[in-house]
Structure 1
């Protein structure tokens, strides 16, 4: 397992879901934290509200793109390349994994820790790793430096 996979496994093992892991790792790579953002992304877990609809890896990846290129205050505009980056990631994701829905990607393969009532998905690891790397590639391709959120 490479460093990215180990970091993801560590975060998953303490109860973070896919969308949270995507953002948490992006924040860690820039040396920051944002517990409110991580908490808010909990609603995207297990296919948005545990409905197994749009995959949390996809929505978490789009959130990372927004973290870098989206509108963040009244005086800002999204980066001109933001929509293109989202479209590129979404298209790649659909092509790479065959669907954007959690139910199609992993079905109901999970384990429940009855002490904490936390459900863990078993098939997300490879999707997480490949998607995280793709997000970094897309950002670099649009002149963003990973870990700084400042366009080159």
Structure 2
């Protein structure tokens, strides 16, 4: 049985959003924000940046979410000093999570079947990365439900 997050992921996939966009949309949902520009920008990360040979959109979307919480977004802001460590933790976790598929690229995860996400592999990674991003943020004193103030 799917929880609310799993149902939301299926709904977004059914509406044509790719993995990177789904990760971003779930984070925006939690923040209670809309940001179509960010969602559109995340589409550039879909399907391994277009050819399945690039990094998985689940991973790159999760990196965007960490940056959303800890990155520099205005002239007056500074990047949180913990962001590089958080990104490293995400990368290490993702490498371990995708080891059974032979690598972290979209093509590795899809077993060379580029063009259509694999429901159980991609869905499982989407669900797991959401929990992992929340854990990383919390461990570094950032609340996933409270982003930086918008200017």
Per the normalisation by structure 1, the TM-score is 0.88
Match of 2:117 among 102, 115, 121: 121
Task: Give the stretch that moved more between structures: 73-82 or 44-53.
Answer: 44-53
Aligned to 1:73: 74
Aligned to 2:133: 135
Q: Larger % of helix: which?
A: 2
- CA RMSD, 1 decimal: 1.6
User: Which aligned pairs between 1:101-116 and structure 2 lie closer than 5 A?
Assistant: 101-109=105-113
The Cα offsets for residues 5-55 of structure 1, whole Å up to 9 and x where unpaired, read as 111111001100000000111001111101111011111000112333100
Q: Larger % of strand: which?
A: 1
Paired with 2:124 and 2:143, the residues of 1 have a C-alpha distance of: 24
Paired with 1:4 and 1:109, the residues of 2 have a C-alpha distance of: 26
Aligned to 1:57: 58
Equivalent pairs counted in the alignment come to 143
Conserved in 1, the CA contact under 8 Å of 2:107 and 2:113? no
4+ residue segments displaced more than 6 Å: none
Give ranges in structure 2 of 5+ residues lacking alignment: none
The Cα offsets for residues 97-138 of structure 1, whole Å up to 9 and x where unpaired, read as 11221111112447xxxxxxxx54123100100011100000
- 3-state secondary structure, aligned to 1:121: coil
- 3-state secondary structure, aligned to 1:47: helix
Inter-CA distance 51–106: structure 2 relative to 1 (3 Å threshold)? closer
Per the normalisation by structure 2, the TM-score is 0.89
